[in-house]
A and B are shown apart, each in its own frame.
Chain A
Amino acid sequence: MNGKEKKKIHMSGWDWAFVICNTIFLVLFCIVTLYPVLNTLAYSFNDGLDAVKGGIHLLPRKFATDAYKTVFNKQGIRQGAIVTVARTALGSILALIVNALLAFIVSRKRFMFRSSLSLFWVITMYANGGMIPVLLLLKNLGLTNSFWVYIVPGLVSAFNILVLRTYMESLPDSYEESAQLDGAGYMRIFVSIISPLCKPVYATVLLFVAVGHWNSWFDAMLYNRNKPEYTTLQYELQKLLSSVMQQSGSADSAGKTSTSAQVTPVTVRSAATIATMLPIICLYPMLQRYFVTGLTIGGVKE
């Protein structure tokens, strides 16, 4: 829609009204959305004790970087970052390939088990056996205390399959038809015909999976508690947060010397939030490119 010829088309009064209202709305939307983020940013750069008094809005009141120092000085955070980057990269690429292939299969209109295979996966979205049986399973498969526990168990996700399938189904059949006439098998159709057309949705799913990997920590705690070399970034941050929280005490810890007076849960929480948001925000525009290219690819000359 950003084609040059568009500009020449006459805009009616209604169109102008629409554009103006839309712009105002989106600007308001941005303000409302940005506020909590900026507020968090302001808190993260504020002195810890001062922040407890509240009332900070867009700018820190008493500037300090102690919260970030606490976050980045945490032992294990570097190891966590390495593991997290590794699992995010490997995990999301593998997940995309695996889910796309399955989505391709269930989106083939003539595939005989199309409907039952979909149902098989849909059920997995809503039925789960609970923490302990899963733990036992992974233990018996030898996946606990290993890096692969991050990659293998969550590889196939019904949600992503459905997102991909819906998109693939919306592609015109003519592509497959013509390839089929050329004698292409299903795998070739998948690799060289469907996949290039699916860039926008691939980018979307890649982003979803990557964010999931980036933010996960529960698996690190549950399955690799005794393996500090497989810790993740978010797990280290969670550990940091729960120890800072402890500053305000629990009955049993009363006899302990209190921790630092310079950082408080409020500021450390904010700094950790900002620190983990940044990389994903940087990654996003790279993927967003595909949404835009999707515009031109979408145009099929039938």
Chain B
Amino acid sequence: MSLKDSKTPALKKLSDKAEVKRQSVLLIIAAIYVIYGIVFYYLPLVGWLMAFQTYKIKDGLFGSEFVGLKWFKFLFSDATFVRVVRNTLAMGVLNLVSQTVTAIAFAILLSEVRNVLGKKLVQTISYLPHFLSWIVVTSIVHEAFSTSGIINEVLVNLHILSKPISFFSHTQYFWPIVAISNVWKETGWNAIIYLATISSIDPALYEAAAMDGAGRWQKIKHITLPGLRSTIIILLIMNIGNVINAGFEVQYLLGNGLLQSVSQTIDIYVLNYGVGKMNYSIGTAAGLFKTFVSMTLIFLFNFIAKKTGDERLF
């Protein structure tokens, strides 16, 4: 649980001067980190210049012709780009919500298992799919959702469907299928952080609750979930910035011509119009747009979290 400054019994007050002196070591180290960060992360951002140029390899970053906002105008006047932004955001949100919920639920359910061996076994199994490449996973998903696949078989046998559906011919199924694939692949892996946090919750709290006659559900509700709160919020804020990175491989591998109006993401667009056609400028412009959206979302949610008195990212 996070302890907010206001509620913390303040650390023993030292005089500001003494504290500054104590902190000098931290300051020096922090400065080294900042230098490192500037060199390795901020310096390459000059590459953003490409978005305002018609970049040619031979002319380089500083010799290419500047074209102002040409590529941004191109992007926003292009109906396809607007559509891929919609797809990216929709799948991003769907993935974020479904992955967060399943990872938390799985971590909690697993932590409720008392058999140590069973618990270890389940967890070890749970993160295996993380190591499968998307090529492998999508081929399995494709087979499972095909007209003769297991999903249709089960649904028909349970009389939920009268005849098999061709899931990959209809646009409305695509986003859920992508979300399910992500959940399937990453739930166990994403749960690792939550499990680590749950393991740090003071067992005394559970014991005390048990004394008070609290059942499982109460303990989850009043101890485990609040204990996870700060982790959940930090990860949520962080991942909010990533909804614009809904992915590339899954959509690329699962999509087909019929589905492209819902399956194409910004990254696929960049591949089609940028990289594959030697136009680095379009790719950079789209990347810059993505960064802008991410940062906006993060600042927004960080602000909300701060206002509601919760954890914040910075």
How many angstroms from the CA of A32 to the CA of B102 in the assembled complex?
14
Q: Which B residues between 256 and 307 are near A, CB-CB below 8 angstroms? A: 280, 283-284, 287, 290-291, 294-295, 298
How many angstroms from the CA of A128 to the CA of B288 in the assembled complex?
9
Q: In the complex, what residue of chain A is closest to B287 when comparing beta carbons?
A: A130
Say yes or no: B44 contacts A180, CB within 8 Å.
no
In the assembled complex, how far is the CB of residue A144 from the closest CB belonging to chain B, in whole angstroms?
A: 14
Q: State whether the Cβ of A18 lies closer than 8 Å to any Cβ in chain B.
A: yes
Say yes or no: B199 contacts A130, CB within 8 Å.
no
**Which of chain B's residues have a CB closer than 8 A to the CB of A39?**
140
**Which of chain A's residues have a CB closer than 8 A to the CB of B3?**
169-170, 172-173
How many angstroms from the CA of A126 to the CA of B200 in the assembled complex?
30
0/1 interface trace, chain A 92-133, chain B, CB 8 Å (1 if under): 000000000110010011111101111111111111111011
**Which of chain A's residues have a CB closer than 8 A to the CB of B206?**
1
In the assembled complex, how far is the CB of residue A119 from the closest CB belonging to chain B, in whole angstroms?
A: 4
Q: State whether the Cβ of A277 lies closer than 8 Å to any Cβ in chain B.
A: yes
How many angstroms from the CA of A3 to the CA of B203 in the assembled complex?
10
**Which of chain A's residues have a CB closer than 8 A to the CB of B46?**
129, 133
Give the contact-size bracket for chain A: 35 or more
Say yes or no: A113 contacts B203, CB within 8 Å.
no
**Which of chain B's residues have a CB closer than 8 A to the CB of A37?**
128-129, 132
Q: State whether the Cβ of B156 lies closer than 8 Å to any Cβ in chain A.
A: no
Say yes or no: B26 contacts A162, CB within 8 Å.
no
Q: State whether the Cβ of A261 lies closer than 8 Å to any Cβ in chain B.
A: no
Say yes or no: B5 contacts A109, CB within 8 Å.
yes
Q: State whether the Cβ of B48 lies closer than 8 Å to any Cβ in chain A.
A: yes
Task: Knowing A30-B122, A33-B129, A126-B291, say if A203 contacts B196 (CB, 8 Å).
Answer: yes
In-complex Cβ contact of B203 among A34, A280, A295 (8 A) = A295
**Which of chain A's residues have a CB closer than 8 A to the CB of B199?**
200, 291-292, 294-295, 298
**Which of chain B's residues have a CB closer than 8 A to the CB of A29?**
106, 122, 126
**Which of chain A's residues have a CB closer than 8 A to the CB of B65?**
none
In the assembled complex, how far is the CB of residue A281 from the closest CB belonging to chain B, in whole angstroms?
A: 7
Q: State whether the Cβ of A181 lies closer than 8 Å to any Cβ in chain B.
A: yes
Say yes or no: A36 contacts B129, CB within 8 Å.
yes
Say yes or no: B193 contacts A170, CB within 8 Å.
no
How many angstroms from the CA of A116 to the CA of B294 in the assembled complex?
18
Q: State whether the Cβ of B135 lies closer than 8 Å to any Cβ in chain A.
A: yes
Q: State whether the Cβ of A148 lies closer than 8 Å to any Cβ in chain B.
A: no
Task: Knowing A39-B140, A167-B200, A169-B230, say if A291 contacts B195 (CB, 8 Å).
Answer: yes
Q: State whether the Cβ of A256 lies closer than 8 Å to any Cβ in chain B.
A: no
Q: State whether the Cβ of A156 lies closer than 8 Å to any Cβ in chain B.
A: yes
Say yes or no: B45 contacts A129, CB within 8 Å.
yes
In-complex Cβ contact of A126 among B8, B36, B295 (8 A) = B295
Q: State whether the Cβ of B40 lies closer than 8 Å to any Cβ in chain A.
A: yes
Give the contact stretch, choosing among B72-80, B110-118, B164-172.
B110-118
Task: Knowing A121-B37, A284-B127, say if A105 contacts B8 (CB, 8 Å).
Answer: no
How many angstroms from the CA of A185 to the CA of B24 in the assembled complex?
10
Q: In the complex, what residue of chain B is closest to A293 when comparing beta carbons?
A: B199
Task: Knowing A127-B295, A166-B230, say if A109 contacts B8 (CB, 8 Å).
Answer: yes
How many angstroms from the CA of A3 to the CA of B197 in the assembled complex?
19
In the assembled complex, how far is the CB of residue A82 from the closest CB belonging to chain B, in whole angstroms?
A: 21
**Which of chain B's residues have a CB closer than 8 A to the CB of A273?**
131-133, 136
How many angstroms from the CA of A19 to the CA of B169 in the assembled complex?
41
Q: State whether the Cβ of B98 lies closer than 8 Å to any Cβ in chain A.
A: no
Say yes or no: B287 contacts A102, CB within 8 Å.
no
0/1 interface trace, chain A 21-37, chain B, CB 8 Å (1 if under): 01101100110111111
0/1 interface trace, chain A 265-284, chain B, CB 8 Å (1 if under): 00001100100110011001
Q: State whether the Cβ of B93 lies closer than 8 Å to any Cβ in chain A.
A: no
Say yes or no: B230 contacts A185, CB within 8 Å.
no
Say yes or no: B26 contacts A108, CB within 8 Å.
yes
In-complex Cβ contact of A117 among B34, B210, B215, B283 (8 A) = B34
In-complex Cβ contact of B200 among A12, A112, A270, A298 (8 A) = A298
**Which of chain A's residues have a CB closer than 8 A to the CB of B128?**
33-34, 37, 277, 281
Task: Knowing A9-B210, A163-B193, A167-B197, say if A113 contacts B30 (CB, 8 Å).
Answer: yes
Which residues of chain B have a CB within 8 Å of any CB of chain A? 1-3, 5, 8-9, 11-12, 19-20, 22-23, 25-27, 29-30, 33-34, 36-37, 39-48, 50, 61, 106, 109-114, 116, 120-133, 135-137, 140, 143, 184, 188, 192-193, 195-197, 199-204, 206, 210, 215-217, 230-231, 234, 238, 241-242, 280, 283-284, 287, 290-291, 294-295, 298, 311, 313-314
Supplied contacts A33-B129, A35-B140, 20 more A-B pairs, CB within 8 Å = A15-B215, A15-B216, A22-B109, A26-B122, A33-B125, A40-B136, A110-B11, A112-B23, A112-B27, A119-B314, A122-B313, A130-B284, A156-B33, A156-B36, A186-B25, A277-B128, A277-B132, A284-B127, A294-B199, A295-B203
Q: Could you give 10 example pairs across A and B, Cβ below 8 Å? A: A29-B106, A115-B314, A123-B41, A126-B241, A159-B238, A169-B3, A176-B11, A200-B200, A292-B199, A298-B199
What 8 pairs between A and B have smallest CB-CB spacing? A129-B47, A133-B47, A129-B44, A118-B314, A294-B199, A119-B314, A126-B294, A133-B44
